[in-house]
Amino acid sequence: MPPIRTLPNAAFTLIELLVVIAIIAVLASISIPAIQGAVDNSKAAACLSNLRQIGAATMAYASDNNSQLPPAGTGGTPQWALAIAAYSDDPKKQRSIFVCPDCDVPVQGATGNEVAVTYGMHGGLMPKGGQSLRLHSIPRPQDIILAADLCQNPGNKGWSPYSIENPAGFKGGGRAGNDGADLEAPISATVDADTGNNAWIRYRHKGRANVVMCDGHVQAMAKGKILNKNVMITR
């Protein structure tokens, strides 16, 4: 009778299992931040796309209204968003472009004749309750911010104030007597938090805020790099 052959033990030893677990842990520690970074970059790119569409829709509105920018509104509803919604590329999703996909505070959906927004329009170009400017009258349109990321208000459905009004340049201060201001000086970024009704730019993309300029181009601007010339409506 031939001898019975026994197969070698195929089970992992404890040491081998620990080595495999350690390798998996190292790979995870390397890949998870990379994946998160890719997700963040994707959201930032989607945000820029939103602002590009907002800029294009605003210009289309102005073209149909003798170069007049949309009104900011007077109440709690951002009239500018309602005014340009019909000019967006995709009517079925026309209001989604007003919410940044990288918001920190959850955003509740709008109902009825409302628009959920996390972006704000320049409060000097479109003053609250006042007459908006004509697009062709804006000096240096390649420098002046039209709309940008704005701080959210957790007490108001995670929505943002609908106009950028702080610092003073966004209120039209550059148009009303700040012609002698240093246009190369940075604006204040004192408030950069979703803690209330803060009408300030929000640097939510790794310390950068996405903006669309009055000529329609979009860019990401780091905190401290937005200058008076980007908000003050001076020659």
pLDDT at 67 over 90: yes
Per this entry, what is the length of the chain?
A: 235
What does the pLDDT read at residue 211? 98
Domain positions in the chain: 14-230
Q: Let me know: does 124 contact 72? Beta carbons within 8 Å.
A: no
Q: Judging by DSSP bridges, how do beta strands 145-149 and 119-122 pair with one another?
A: antiparallel
36 vs 133: which has the higher pLDDT: 133
pTM: 0.82
Q: Characterize 203-228 residue by residue with b for buried, 16 or more Cβ atoms within 10 angstroms of its Cβ, and e for exposed.
A: bbbeebbbbbbbebebebbeeebbbb
User: How many Å apart are CA 63 and CA 213, to the nearest integer?
Assistant: 17
> Where does residue 187 rank: exposed (0-12), middle (13-18), buried (19+ CB within 10 A)?
buried
Asked if the model's pLDDT at residue 87 lies above 60, the reply is yes
**Which band of pLDDT confidence, cut at 50, 70 and 90, is reported for residue 25?**
confident
